[in-house]
Amino acid sequence: MIESSESLPAGQALEQILLLLDQVNPKRTDLSPEQRLEWLRTARVAQSRIQALTGLLTAEAEKSQAAERTVGTPITSWIATQEVCSHKEATRDVLAARSLGEHPMVGQAASTGAINTNQAAAIGKVLSSIGPQLDAEQKAEAAHELVSLAGHLDAGRLARAAGQVLRTVAPQSAEQLLETRLQRQAEQAHRERFLRFFPSGGSLRFEGSLPLAEGERFQALVTAHREKNRRTSLQTPEPLADRPSYDQRQADALISLCDAAAKSRPEPGLGGARVLVKLDYQQLRDQAAGAGLIGADDALAAGDLRRLCCDAELIPAVLGGGSEVLDVGTTRRLVTPAIRNALILRDGGCAFPGCAVRPESCEAHHIQPWWDNGSTSLGNLVLLCHHHHGVIEPARDSGRDQWSVHIGEDGKPVFTPPARLQRFSERRGSSGAPLLSSSNEGERSIAPTCEFTST
């Protein structure tokens, strides 16, 4: 290992890295599983840091016009000629690097390994979207806040953290700034909408872009048909040779959607997307009063408030309200629509840590199995995708070492790793494998939020 208290120029450090990589022993057949994972983790950290440094060097070269002064071409053309890559790929890399150069704090955090490159890209997009509305001091504070959030939020959740950041750096005008930002995004998405078709032999290829609300409605409809087709295939097992891939199932779902639209007859379980708006009781009451639906001093039950809002074709799930039955005991196994709505609002999708599968592709899992007298109630259910349902589901006559889940004191699912992973964690010097809360919590905790589910 090279040890030095002095920092090296970037070029010298990269040359030493390449020399060390040339000395890597390719024989790794005698490694333990724990060592393989440890080396993989280290390699990914190194990859992320080198990628960030590459981005910073690219941004600096572009800003100084190094390529134009040296070879008389833009930096994108120089990259394309130096490597076996297209001009489009080079342009994409330069645009990503430009974001690091525009936000030095983010670039520094990525190059030191404090954040990974995916998080850096997400932070750059957020800063670019809210930057025009902030002064220099607020921009610096926003960058610092996002880098701090990256300690426990992945790239996807960071990309949705603009509201949280604005409420921190500009609390007085945050709501107005958010409204302006959302309006600009909606206008831009509307301007950029398109749909193109490309006949190709016996196929028709297409690509397009839709505004987010319309796009999610379209995605929800396709997903609903995909799940219907999946349930049908479970009843009539497919030969392994004919089993379609996920992308093929998506295509089959779109074909089913087109068939249903042509017939103009909605099938059971398919139809328009349902919008669930998560509001607390006081917020819903204040908005109803502001709209003139009730008097300012009227006191209504949560169920009454909910019925007043149904005329707008919104389903407000009032947190803390007792107007819907969320426990049907052990008399039935399948969840009611009310319980499923509550699960969607609580879990947001697959609750397994790190999983981002949307709620319409998830199943309601009984924590205490129904066949073992487990009740069909919110406190005994958790949303899981098909894969993680199999990971969690206990067999009737098996004591296998597997993941488990329970509902924590805060009412959210908490996952416990298998004992073998706990032993691995202890060998690495930890006090034991941690209990993992659902990764969906942070990104869906700010009300109001909307989720689309098939009805």
Per-residue pLDDT for 110 more than 60? yes
User: Domain check: are 55 and 185 in the same one?
Assistant: yes
Residues 6+ apart with CB under 8 A from 346: 378, 411, 412
Dist. CA 39–CA 35, nearest whole Å: 6
Domain match, 362 and 445 both? yes
- How high is the pLDDT of residue 14? 93
Q: Is the pLDDT of residue 11 over 50?
A: yes
**Residue predicted with more confidence, 133 or 62:** 62
Long-range (24+ apart) CB contacts under 8 A made by 394-399 are 394/369, 396/369, 396/371
Copy the structure tokens of residue 100: 């690091």
- pLDDT, position 194: 92
- 24 found inside a domain: no
The three-state DSSP-derived secondary structure of 82-143 is: HCCCCHHHHHHHHHHHHHHHHCHHHHHHHHCCCCCHHHHHHHHHHHHHHHHHCCHHHHHHHH
Q: Are residues 110 and 181 in the same domain?
A: yes
Answer yes or no: do 414 and 341 share one domain.
Answer: yes
pLDDT at 71 over 50: yes
- How confident is the model over 172-198, as a mean pLDDT? 86
Does the residue 55 lie in any domain?
A: yes
Read off the pLDDT of each residue in 388-394 and give the average, rounded to a whole number: 83
In a shared domain, residues 232 and 357: no
Ranked by mean pLDDT, the top range of 82-86, 164-168, 315-319 is 164-168
Average pLDDT over residues 390-396: 76
pLDDT band with cut points at 50, 70 and 90 for residue 301: low
Determine, yes or no, domain membership for 128. yes
Write down the mean pLDDT value for the chain.
78
Is 60 exceeded by the pLDDT of residue 353?
A: yes
- Per-residue pLDDT tens over the stretch 203-217: 999 999 998 888 888
Q: Are residues 129 and 80 in the same domain?
A: yes
- pLDDT at site 324: 54
Say yes or no: 343 and 377 in one domain.
yes
310 and 446 fall within a common domain = no
**Between residues 420 and 134, the one the model is more confident about:** 134
Q: In this structure, is residue 27 part of a structural domain?
A: no
Instruction: Give 187's pLDDT tier (boundaries 50, 70, 90).
Output: confident
Query: Where does residue 140 rank: exposed (0-12), middle (13-18), buried (19+ CB within 10 A)?
Result: middle
- The whole-number pLDDT of residue 217 equals 85
Residues 252 and 285 in one domain: no
Residue 26 or 274, more confident: 26
pLDDT digits (tens, 9 = 90+) for 376-387: 888 889 999 888
Among 160, 189, 218, give the residue marking a domain's end: 189
> DSSP strand E in 308-439: where?
315-319, 362-366, 381-385, 404-407, 413-416, 436-437
The region of weakest confidence among 34-38, 233-237, 334-338, 435-439 is: 435-439
Helix (H) or strand (E) holding 453: strand 450-454
Which residue from 324, 160, 356, 364 is spatially nearest to 316, judged by alpha carbons?
A: 324
Percent of the chain with pLDDT strictly greater than 90: 21
Residues comprising the chain, all counted: 455
pLDDT for 340: 85
For 263-287, the pLDDT digits (tens) are 765 444 444 445 555 556 666 666 6
Q: What is the pLDDT of residues 325-348, one digit of tens each?
A: 555 555 555 678 888 888 888 888
pLDDT average, residue stretch 25-49: 91
**What is residue 269's predicted lDDT score, i.e. its pLDDT?**
45
**Residue 98 domain-assigned (yes or no):** yes
Kindly state whether residue 362 falls inside one of the protein's structural domains. yes
Res 453 pLDDT > 50: no
Three-state DSSP class for residue 278:
strand
Q: Is the confidence at residue 109, as pLDDT, over 70?
A: yes
- Residue 14 belongs to a domain: no
Please give the backbone phi and psi of residue 3, each rounded to the nearest 5 degrees, phi first: -120, 130
The tokens for 407 are 């509902």
Q: What pLDDT sits at residue 289?
A: 61
Co-location of 150 and 61 in the same domain: yes
* Band (85; pLDDT cuts 50, 70, 90): confident
Residues 6+ apart with CB under 8 A from 54: 97
* Digit-coded pLDDT (tens) for 219-255: 888 988 888 888 777 666 666 667 788 889 899 999 9
Q: 149 and 52: one domain?
A: yes
Domain that holds residue 449: 337-454
Q: How many domains does the chain have?
A: 4
The model's pLDDT over 126-168, given as tens digits with 9 standing for 90+, comes to 998 888 888 889 999 999 999 999 988 888 889 888 888 998 9
> In which band, very low, low, confident or very high, does the pLDDT at 61 lie, cut at 50, 70 and 90?
very high
Binned at pLDDT 50, 70 and 90, residue 1 comes out as very low
In-domain check, residue 197: no
56 pLDDT above the threshold of 80:
yes
Predicted TM-score (pTM) above 0.85 = no
174 with 58, same domain: the answer is: yes
Torsion angles phi and psi, residue 30, rounded to 5? -100, 15
